[in-house]
């Protein structure tokens, strides 16, 4: 009776451990959005009433994990890149002045969220030469389960070459949501550890039970063969008499 109970407990442990391992190794779900930004969005008033702009069609591609396990590291990536080089016709029609003729331009980005570790935590500033893509990456690590709402900001910083104060221009804002989960309060690393140990222990118990069952069956078969042989010998002796 005890052996059957131990077998059932081992089987339950095997199922739980396998569930832990599957949950801990399932890759995080990701989301991605793309938004096109034209020069008119990236323009400011400079030198009086003159419209100064980035004369490039650019797009913002933002990718983030929509789900994570507590303790696991997620990556939020923002790419700000040129999609079309030749915008001269648009420039002539709009009367925009190339910002690079009298400014140094920088891209600024920030990710704001409460209750989560973020690296880097402060605003990131990257020099943005003409035609060059900008890539900004944040690493996030949640320590508690729940739903986290964050905001990604992208701005341009125009630095006039004549020494005037810089001009700050927000051009992109996006709300993102990250759903963080746990398994019985365990994070991904502990779930993998306990799941692996549980699998080994349960397999040992099940293997031991299977070996004992095979040995018991062989003994029973041997006893039956011995009994049949004894009966056959008794019948042979009776016939001889």
Closest to 178 (Cα-Cα) out of 75, 59, 108: 75
Question: pLDDT at position 35, please?
Answer: 95
pLDDT reported for residue 143: 84
Give residue 186's pLDDT: 80
Q: Chain-wide mean pLDDT for the chain? A: 81
pTM above 0.85, yes or no: no
Which pLDDT score, from 0 to 100, does residue 76 have? Answer: 97
Q: Which residue has the tokens 């605003």?
A: 123
Residue 14's pLDDT is what? 77
In angstroms, the CA 183 to CA 18 distance is 13
Average pLDDT over residues 36-63: 85
How many CB atoms sit inside 10 A of residue 40's CB? Answer: 11
Tell me the CA distances in angstroms from 39 to 49, 54, 136, 137, one per residue in order: 17, 6, 21, 24
Domains of the chain: 11-188 (2.60.40.10)
Q: Give me the mean pLDDT over the 195-207 stretch.
A: 75
For residue 186, how many other CB atoms are within 10 A of its CB?
A: 19
Q: Is pLDDT of 59 > 50? A: yes
Of residues 77, 67, 28, 30, the one with CA closest to residue 148: 67
* pLDDT for 236 beyond 60: no
**Averaged pLDDT, 227-231:** 52
Distance (Å, whole) CA 48 – CA 51? 9
Share of residues in the chain with pLDDT > 70 (%): 76
Instruction: Give the C-alpha separation, 114 to 5, whole Å.
Output: 48
Confidence of residue 85 (pLDDT cuts 50, 70, 90): low
Q: What is the pLDDT of residue 225?
A: 47
The Cα-based distances of 229 to 70, 237, 241 in angstroms read 66, 12, 19
End-to-end CA distance of the chain: 47
């Amino acid at each position: 009776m005890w052996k059957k109970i131990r077998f059932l407990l081992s089987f339950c442990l095997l199922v739980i451990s396998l569930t832990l391992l599957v949950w801990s190794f399932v890759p995080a779900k990701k989301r991605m959005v793309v938004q096109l930004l034209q020069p008119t969005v990236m323009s400011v008033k400079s030198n009086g009433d003159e419209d100064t702009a980035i004369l490039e069609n650019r797009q913002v591609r933002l990718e983030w994990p929509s789900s994570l396990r507590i303790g696991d590291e997620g990556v939020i990536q923002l790419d700000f890149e040129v999609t079309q080089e030749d915008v001269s016709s648009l420039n002539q029609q709009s009367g925009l002045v190339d910002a690079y003729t009298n400014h140094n331009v920088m891209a600024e980005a920030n990710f704001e969220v409460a209750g989560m570790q973020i690296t880097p935590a402060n605003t990131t500033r990257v020099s943005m030469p003409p035609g060059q893509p900008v890539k900004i990456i944040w690493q996030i690590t949640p320590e508690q389960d729940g739903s986290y709402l964050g905001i990604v900001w992208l701005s341009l910083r125009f630095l006039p070459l004549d020494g005037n104060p810089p001009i700050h221009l927000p051009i992109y804002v996006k709300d993102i949501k990250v759903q963080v989960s746990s398994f019985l309060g365990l994070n991904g690393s502990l779930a993998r550890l306990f799941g692996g140990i549980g699998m080994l222990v349960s397999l040992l118990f099940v293997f031991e039970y299977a070996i004992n069952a095979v040995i018991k069956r062989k003994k029973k078969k041997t006893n039956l063969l011995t009994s049949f042989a004894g009966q056959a010998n008794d019948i042979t002796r009776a016939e001889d008499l």
